[in-house]
Structure 1
């Protein structure tokens, strides 16, 4: 009975999330502040319910629920909502929440089609460790920051296009100035890259200690380091050469697409990665 009720609540979360994203879209098209406010409160309700499910799962499993692809995708969606609400609260960037939660809703929708996974007690005792918890948590937090950075770059490109076409209007004003969007995108990458690096180091340490066989040529390992490299090149070009603007925005957006491929595709092709179990 409890499981049925939880399923109904989860379905309600998805519906509220969809309505929130739709209202943000209406605001984006029509500059409707009322739709924006309603969407924000619906999203706040979604965040509260998501947090409840996260805590419930934590109590139910007796661990931080991120050790399966089912749990990891859910945590990623929760991170996206949390970061978008916090950044919008303190920095007041219009349309940030809308674009971020288009990604978040896609992740939540994908989450509903991923079969729920559990591990036996023996396997859990053998594989679960603090290193693994920190590895996955830091990786998903870095992915969340990279996602918001991607949104800022997308807003930059949109604003650049509107300015070039001289399409003046409320949308142009609400997007903010280009330099701020460019800087916020860069700043989030500065935060996310060290998190990803530490996550990979912890993951390698855990693999050597806990797995019977660890291969550097595994597709997930190579994909993760490819993500690290493309974002490192982005920061190197940005800092050492002082390059900014549209070219860096496109580089950042392309890097995020590589990140998504690594997260959703390479993980399923991995021969050892824990989420592939």
Structure 2
């Protein structure tokens, strides 16, 4: 029982670390980078504990099964990431390597473990589904907050354009703050949704041996990522700001609503 709890703790902390590295990559935020680094360090330590437990439990080096090989592979990627993060400032490389490491850690469940009981595997798979759902719901929540700020931005913009001065306009907030908070919640929601989708794909493959790529929920999930990815690209790379970008954020939320409500109605695979 302890080993499966340890596995899930590694997955959760790893996801938080990837989230931190994504925010650092977008913002170049040293404080977030340090937090992500220490979270990744915790992942490294827990993976070492996991490997040691396997070694003691089976009285051999944990390299005999594909499951163990993938755990070691993920640990090696984490090790390289920590070294690169300390010695060099290559944020995208660290982020990219950790996305791969996170996916491998999760995919390891789909491999023949050999000496992992089917009951234990089933428990971990079910709890992975719970983590998948929770992470996606958190992404929906942050995207909703982002939409709220963008909507208020468009409302404030229209009031200023039509010169409708009054107490109501002052209570909405200034445009710069509304825009910054909208961007902040989008950059949190995007990696959360990406990680949630990765876990969902892994769970589907482990549970059913297939991935429903043409399922409406899956298709619209990737469409949501595309729209918000374009939003972040316009903000970070193109340095775009203003009313048009706020409208794009609102459009992203409308796609999110389609993803959450309509696609579930037509999906044979998803219940929510």
User: Where on the TM-score scale, by shorter chain, does this alignment land: which range?
Assistant: 0.5 to 0.7
The structure 1 residue matched to 2:183, chosen from 175, 182, 186, is 186
Alignment of 1:255-270 (within 5 A): 255-270=252-267
Q: How many residues align?
A: 152
The TM-score with structure 1 as length reference comes to 0.52
Q: Which residue of 1 aligns with 2:231?
A: 234
The structure 1 residue matched to 2:220, chosen from 223, 241, 244, is 223
The structure 2 residue matched to 1:169, chosen from 143, 150, 166, is 166
Take 1:214 and 1:189, find their aligned partners in 2: how far apart are those partners? 27
Q: Is the 8 A contact 1:214 1:272 kept in 2?
A: no
1:162, distance to aligned residue in structure 2 (A): 1.1
Q: Is the 8 A contact 2:125 2:203 kept in 1?
A: no
1:214, distance to aligned residue in structure 2 (A): 2.7
CA RMSD of aligned residues (A): 1.9
Residues 95-134 of structure 1: CA deviation (Å, up to 9, x unaligned): xxxxxxxxxxxxxxxxxxxxxxxxxxxxxx7896121011
Moved over 3 A (4+): 125-128
Q: Is the 8 A contact 1:139 1:199 kept in 2?
A: yes
Take 2:161 and 2:231, find their aligned partners in 1: how far apart are those partners? 25
Report the secondary structure of 1:129's partner residue: helix
Residues 152-173 of structure 1: CA deviation (Å, up to 9, x unaligned): 0110011111111111111111
Q: Which residue of 2 aligns with 1:202?
A: 199
1:270, distance to aligned residue in structure 2 (A): 1.6
Q: Is the 8 A contact 1:156 1:182 kept in 2?
A: yes
Q: Which residue of 1 aligns with 2:131?
A: 134
Structure of higher CA gyration radius: 2
- Whether 2:256 is the aligned partner of 1:244: answer no
Structure 1 unmatched ranges of 5 or more: 1-124
Structure 2 unmatched ranges of 5 or more: 1-121
Q: Which residue of 2 aligns with 1:66?
A: none
Alignment of 1:100-179 (within 5 A): 129-179=126-176
Q: Is the 8 A contact 1:126 1:210 kept in 2?
A: no
The TM-score with structure 2 as length reference comes to 0.53
